[in-house]
Structure 1
Amino acid sequence: MTVMAWLAGERQAWLARAAALDHGREEPDWDRAATGANTLGSLSMPQVTWLIAKGPDASARALIGKESYLRLRQRIDVGRVAVARFELDALPFAAALAGTSPDALGLLMLPLRGPEPAALVAGWLRHLGSARLWARLWLERHPEAAARALIPAAAGRPGKARQNAEDARRHLAAAGHEPLVVTIAGELGAAALAAISALLATGPAPVTREQPPAWARAELLPPVRAAAGPPLPPDEVTRLVAALTRSRLAEPPEPAPGDPAPPGAAVPLVVEGSAAAQPMVAPAGPQLQRLIAGCDRGSLAAFGRALLQAWLAAGMPASHAWAILAQAHVGDDATWGELAPLVRSWPAKSRYLRAIDGHAVLATVGTDESLRHALAIEHGMSGGPMNERAVAYLTQAAAGRGLSRTQLADRLTVTHGLDTAMTLDYGRRAFTVVADEHLTLFAVDADGRRLARPPKPGVKDTNPEAYERFQRLRKEVRATAVVQIARLERDMLEHRLRPARDLPAVLLPHPILGPLARRLLWGQYGPGRRLLRALRIAEDGSFADRDDRTATVDGHAELGIVHPAELGAELGDWAQLFADYEIMQPFPQVNRPVMALTERQRAACSLPGGLGPVPSSRISALADGSWHSTEHGARRHTQLSRGLPGGLRLVVELDPGVPTSWGATVPAEQRIAEIWVDDAWSDHWQRARRIPLGAADPAALSELLVQLYAAER
């Protein structure tokens, strides 16, 4: 039986969140609607929030008995208030919320003690995000209830319930509750005691696999040569395949992130599993290590690629996904060239777990080539949980080298051989390849003349393919430059920083990054990523300030690419200086469209209307892109919002709004009535504005305001 088990002051703290819930203007008919016989299903979201927070008791209880989830960003507060206000009556509601989003909402189970919460939280111990922490906190808070609820499953038939219960049993034992587990097992009967005693004696079950599948038979795969030369006998190859089937991801990294009640914070600290530290591929076991050591590495890698292709041809059975993870033990550079396109394509085919396996392999291997492929995959992503996992894996791989992800990308940018003297050898004549500051390639003949392209080979030239090599090189350099320009612009928009020593040591000597970096305006940043001063890279590679005087910069100082919205009154001076030196920037920076706020506007909590009229079609286009539109009454989308760094959102109030019903007449134009900033976890229904616009990142705010300004045009 489930009961409430509050910590001292916990229930009062949860109830107090009702005051923070946003539900907008309370309408006179809300009470009547809430007490009506058939109206609960037609309540608007603001009404639902109001009802749970402080509406009529009977109607609110009826609502939480029916609703399984709410599409709100403030669900954590709605859930905490519901559990504190209605206690056990809110169990189905809270369990549905927690089961839907365990990382964000799993802490709703903490004060609920009983078999239903125990079964739910036991399944979270293998999660990567905050759900794992909520499960551990629950088990350590309710060890007796956990043992009584989970011992029967841990001693029962194999399956998911048994695995979850066994995970919970191991955690309880590790937390010092093993005597309690044994005592309760004895109370549950001799069979339960015997089963739990056996589990405690043997520890975690060893990782086992079924026999290698038919598509992985030795006779169907290319031979593997021994290090000494001859091919391995079939039985040895069979043992190798059997050992590879034990390839797996390592246990989740420690510690589990999150905090249910961070000091001074309105909402819990939550880390979604996609953004948490990710598990790498577990090291090869002793047997696999011995087998691999006796193999020729080239033939072993080819064998591994054949295994992967055979698994793909067999339909990618999930039970044999070890074929991906095994590449971390046997693969080479050619393997990553085959694996990377698969990893890139799998999310679009809903093969998310397989894509995660592929990212784990590329990051675990951690060679220059594997990480170049990982960086290229991440560059082509458009956001979302899979992008977060790719970033997490790259961050972990970079940290293994003592670098940030940005530093890793700098060091792995290909040079195409331009960092050395490159010669096109036609046989009887040769040309030197050079690149100008705009990364346009030229050929220089023996007399020092610069040619737009080398001459076509003649009949006396013995190596005519050198000409085609130059043509390919031009395209490759151009493609790399496009990718790196986009990356550097993203560095500016996301405030990615580098230690100052990296510019002269890494970026400037690089044949592609160097010419790009010299044409950008850099800045030295202090605590909170606040711009301290802007700097230009002078012709001799030193730094120069706004007055064109040499500036000394400590090698440990943090440098980033400045966004023009950060420059304030200095922007015009810098734009003029770049114009005087005729510096053509690789992407718009000092001449970038910018909307910077005045000090008075930064101190205000909203901007009044004035941008308009705006075509409704343009508003719809923004809503169909990366902006989020919200219906706030009258069956019209009357708000647009977009995320800002630091857990904030920019909110735009529209008048009269875009109708939500199909076939309704859409006004030709919209007026932007107000622009304001709110917490990302809020639903932006409140009437009072509480966050000054100056709290928003000026670069991100400028980019969004420019989009709105473009909408006006």
Structure 2
Amino acid sequence: MASGEGLVCADPTVMAWEEGERERWLARAALLEHGREEDGWTREANNADRLSDLSPMQVPWLFAKGPEAAARAMLAGPMLLRQRQRLDIGRVAVARFEVDALKLALGLAGESADRLGSLLLPFRGPEPAALVAGWLRHLGSARLWARLWLQRHATVAAQALMPVALGKPGRARQNAEDALHHLRATGHEATLLKVAAGKTAKPRKMPDWARPERLPGVRRIGGGMLGEDEVGRLIEGLTRSRLEDAPEPAPGDPAPGGRAVESSAAAQPEVRAPDPEILAGCDRHSLAEFGRALLDQWLTDDMPASEAWVLLAQAHLGDDSTMDKLAPLIRSWPARSRWARAIDGLAVLATAGTDVALRHLLAMEERMSGGPTNDRALVYLTQAAARRGLSVTQLADRLAATHDLGRGVTLDYGPRSFTVVLDDHLTPHVVGADGRRLAKPPKPGVKDFKPESFQDFVRLKKELRLTVSAQTARLERDMLAHRVRPAAGVRAPHPILGPLARRLLWAEPGRRLRIAEDGSFADVHDATARVDDDAVLRIVHPAELEPAELADWRQIFADYEILQPFPQLNRPFVALTEEQRAATSLPGFGPVATGAVVGLLNRGWLGNGFHNGTRLHTQLAHALPGDLTLLIEVDPGVSTSSLNSVDEQRITEIWIDDAGSDHWQVARTTPMGAGDAAALSELLTGLDATLRLL
């Protein structure tokens, strides 16, 4: 039989509209926002060489009703990632220019398959087939777009993907195999048999480093070693390691205006368990060593994607030492553009599910600054916590390091010993046999035959300082994110979290509480408050308190000399008045230094001048919870790519808008009170600190 090398699909891509579909897509032009059309736009469009030469407002105008020649000439160029309304812009462009818009549609769908993959539905040809084949294992809406495309263009899909499925092993072959398997399962087996007649797949060629003789042996539980043939079968079984199938049904709605779900926000799959027979009778420790040897070989070979099964196999081969080895690698991969491997690594940690693995996963999620990988890590943590009957916050509390302080730590010098104790501020001290408390243990003497215990204390003190710092930062993030805990968890006897919790103000619906010295709760009148163990508590932000109540709590904490682990009651904050909460904007101010406004762009604010490096940022935006955005209008504007010739700026307005808007409208419709009080306070006080306004 011939191999698949001679099988090709050379048919050109054509349009295959469903009845009324093109008209529905063209109708989206009426919904495209482009602000007020200006007289010079046609001239600027005719003179532009690429879409980035136009403003964000001009791009939707160009494809909806701009000059046809100019729009057609720019179809092959990329659209800016921050361009809003990309789905409707793409639909209008595809409906208006059809096959000429193929490159634009492929580019948009490749950048964001979940949100923009539906743009490929009317195209029939090998280019879209190759792209959608890789979406069947997506967790979000791209999986639905792929299924719809394959069902609609089954014959072309089979012709285009069969040679890939019969070709060289790797990611492309796996994607093609997934697509053909889907076609077979959905009633297109006759088409596949006709296309594949007389063709056979290339056999998998195992890399040299995965041969049994290049790897350590595997011990049996009862003694002895696996034979070379048995190790070969073990490796062959491990090559089938992959993620579990995504949950059904595939989310999304292809209709114009329909819903799209990002893969990072969907339920995340764990690593599928291997055939039990291939691991049966093998010593677990020996399997873990074998797995780490495979991992080392794969890393040395620069992590070939075709052999990514090595990474996934660690979920069922590895032990805690494997997870310790993997964690720093997974953290480093996004910076090296190894996004797919980082996602696989998160799946491995979540599937392993041990305390060590989940501590690494928690640490990664806490250090991330947002984005799809952060979202996936949080979903994995949510799933792992749910298996233990916990929330992510509770899981983090349960897994917080104790350094064995709960059971007691003793420094044994030999003839004498000291017990380590913590004060209220979590500073370690030692207590000798005579009961005296010392700031640190004495240095070992000539009669002490275990002098290493002194260094154990030095190491404990350093590790404890890092743990306290990390847990303090986590509790502060919990305050800002309104994360909740059951009361039983808040007053749990954790040697580190317990003292931190006692120095904070907590809230349950309708009242604020502190934890008294005896572990009970006390209210603002310093009376004991009854709180059920399953009552939901969270850390209070001062912007949520009335001025009189805040003053009372400040006095109570001062009277008891409670030093808070981070600024809470004495935190700088901004609380809007009722009039300001009802208003749809706040008045501007100034002048402020241009350099200070530029500094905001390095603190999480995004400017609207991204489309052209020579243009000014006249509007700065920052995300708020609840799909809202806080905006400040800047006059005359600042640049981050050229020298600013103006020393001073004015902030002309502060307002809130829907996060999905382009923020071009003149009318303000969202009241300032719609913004989360804590988040809004943090941003406004940040403006004060940066611009020195108040």
* TM-score (norm. length: structure 1): 0.85
Q: Which amino acid aligns with 2:301?
A: A
Shift of 1:13: 8.8
CA distance in 1, matches of 2:635, 2:443: 65
Decide whether the 8 Å contact of 2:521 with 2:529 is kept in 1: yes
Q: 1:620 aligns with which of 594, 598, 602?
A: 598
Structure 1 counterpart of 2:27: 15
Matches within 5 A, 1:402-551: 402-504=389-491, 508-525=492-509, 532-551=510-529
Shift of 1:514: 0.5
CA distance in 1, matches of 2:487, 2:20: 50
Identify unmatched segments of 5+ residues in structure 2: 1-13
CA distance in 2, matches of 1:518, 1:598: 31
CA distance in 2, matches of 1:547, 1:83: 67
1:637 has 2:641 as partner = no
State the SS of the aligned residue for 1:652. strand
Structure 2 counterpart of 1:136: 147
CA separation of 1:87 and 1:208: change in aligned 2, threshold 3 A: closer
Deviations for 1:300-335, whole angstroms, at most 9, x for unmatched residues? 322322222233233333333333222222222222
CA distance in 2, matches of 1:376, 1:38: 47
Shift of 1:152: 2.4
Shift of 1:411: 0.6
Q: 1:704 aligns with which of 665, 683, 688?
A: 683
Q: Which amino acid aligns with 1:69?
A: M
- Report which stretch shifted further, 81-90 or 633-642: 81-90
1:342 has 2:343 as partner = no
CA distance in 2, matches of 1:261, 1:81: 14
Decide whether the 8 Å contact of 1:642 with 1:650 is kept in 2: yes
Structure 2 counterpart of 1:191: 194
Q: Which amino acid aligns with 2:386?
A: A
CA distance in 1, matches of 2:596, 2:38: 32
Decide whether the 8 Å contact of 1:24 with 1:687 is kept in 2: no
Q: 1:597 aligns with which of 576, 580, 587?
A: 576
Structure 2 counterpart of 1:583: 562
Shift of 1:89: 6.7
Deviations for 1:522-580, whole angstroms, at most 9, x for unmatched residues? 1225xxxxxx4322222222222323333333444332212222224333332222222
1:320 has 2:333 as partner = no
Decide whether the 8 Å contact of 2:513 with 2:521 is kept in 1: yes
1:303 has 2:290 as partner = yes
1:674 has 2:686 as partner = no
Decide whether the 8 Å contact of 1:61 with 1:89 is kept in 2: no
Structure 1 counterpart of 2:388: 401
Shift of 1:495: 1.9
Q: Which amino acid aligns with 1:561?
A: I
Decide whether the 8 Å contact of 2:48 with 2:54 is kept in 1: no
Q: 1:687 aligns with which of 650, 660, 666?
A: 666
State the SS of the aligned residue for 1:443. strand
Shift of 1:259: 4.3
- Report which stretch shifted further, 543-552 or 644-653: 543-552
Decide whether the 8 Å contact of 1:15 with 1:80 is kept in 2: no
Structure 2 counterpart of 1:352: 339
State the SS of the aligned residue for 1:708. helix
Decide whether the 8 Å contact of 1:456 with 1:467 is kept in 2: yes
Decide whether the 8 Å contact of 2:28 with 2:88 is kept in 1: no
Deviations for 1:229-264, whole angstroms, at most 9, x for unmatched residues? 3344444444433433333333334443344569xx
CA distance in 1, matches of 2:15, 2:24: 20
Decide whether the 8 Å contact of 2:42 with 2:67 is kept in 1: no
CA separation of 1:37 and 1:584: change in aligned 2, threshold 3 A: closer
Q: 1:98 aligns with which of 91, 102, 109?
A: 109
Structure 2 counterpart of 1:277: 267
Q: Which amino acid aligns with 2:498?
A: G
Shift of 1:105: 1.4
Shift of 1:489: 1.0
State the SS of the aligned residue for 2:661. coil
Shift of 1:3: 3.7
Q: Which amino acid aligns with 1:560?
A: R
State the SS of the aligned residue for 1:45. coil
Shift of 1:707: 1.3
Shift of 1:80: 4.2
CA distance in 2, matches of 1:18, 1:386: 35
CA separation of 1:352 and 1:13: change in aligned 2, threshold 3 A: closer
State the SS of the aligned residue for 2:650. strand
Decide whether the 8 Å contact of 1:258 with 1:271 is kept in 2: yes
Decide whether the 8 Å contact of 2:15 with 2:98 is kept in 1: no
Structure 1 counterpart of 2:5: none
CA separation of 1:392 and 1:459: change in aligned 2, threshold 3 A: same
CA separation of 1:117 and 1:249: change in aligned 2, threshold 3 A: closer
- Report which stretch shifted further, 692-701 or 480-489: 692-701
Decide whether the 8 Å contact of 1:18 with 1:81 is kept in 2: no
Structure 2 counterpart of 1:227: 221
CA separation of 1:237 and 1:515: change in aligned 2, threshold 3 A: same
CA separation of 1:147 and 1:163: change in aligned 2, threshold 3 A: farther
CA distance in 2, matches of 1:85, 1:305: 55
Decide whether the 8 Å contact of 1:520 with 1:589 is kept in 2: yes
- Report which stretch shifted further, 125-134 or 436-445: 125-134
CA separation of 1:571 and 1:271: change in aligned 2, threshold 3 A: farther
CA separation of 1:133 and 1:562: change in aligned 2, threshold 3 A: farther
Shift of 1:412: 0.6
Decide whether the 8 Å contact of 2:624 with 2:676 is kept in 1: yes
CA distance in 2, matches of 1:108, 1:342: 36
CA distance in 2, matches of 1:607, 1:536: 35
Deviations for 1:49-88, whole angstroms, at most 9, x for unmatched residues? 23434x3564675366455424412223333454566677
Q: Which amino acid aligns with 2:493?
A: P
Structure 2 counterpart of 1:150: 157
Decide whether the 8 Å contact of 1:154 with 1:163 is kept in 2: no
Deviations for 1:122-160, whole angstroms, at most 9, x for unmatched residues? 442222222112333455xxx4x4223223235545257
Shift of 1:439: 0.7
User: How large is the RMSD of aligned CA atoms in angstroms?
Assistant: 3.3
Structure 2 counterpart of 1:529: none
CA separation of 1:239 and 1:61: change in aligned 2, threshold 3 A: closer
Q: Which amino acid aligns with 1:646?
A: G
Structure 1 counterpart of 2:10: none
CA distance in 1, matches of 2:130, 2:209: 38
Decide whether the 8 Å contact of 1:616 with 1:666 is kept in 2: no
CA distance in 1, matches of 2:36, 2:552: 48
Percent of pairs identical after alignment?
Answer: 59
CA separation of 1:124 and 1:306: change in aligned 2, threshold 3 A: closer
Decide whether the 8 Å contact of 2:25 with 2:91 is kept in 1: no
Shift of 1:192: 3.4
Deviations for 1:439-463, whole angstroms, at most 9, x for unmatched residues? 1111112232211112222222232
Matches within 5 A, 1:158-307: 158-159=166-167, 167-168=178-179, 170-171=181-182, 174=185, 178=187, 181=188, 185=191, 191-192=194-195, 210-211=205-206, 213-260=207-254, 268-290=258-280, 294-307=281-294
State the SS of the aligned residue for 2:426. coil
- Report which stretch shifted further, 323-332 or 641-650: 323-332
Structure 1 counterpart of 2:3: none
CA separation of 1:25 and 1:154: change in aligned 2, threshold 3 A: closer
CA separation of 1:16 and 1:192: change in aligned 2, threshold 3 A: closer
CA separation of 1:502 and 1:604: change in aligned 2, threshold 3 A: same
> Number of aligned pairs?
669
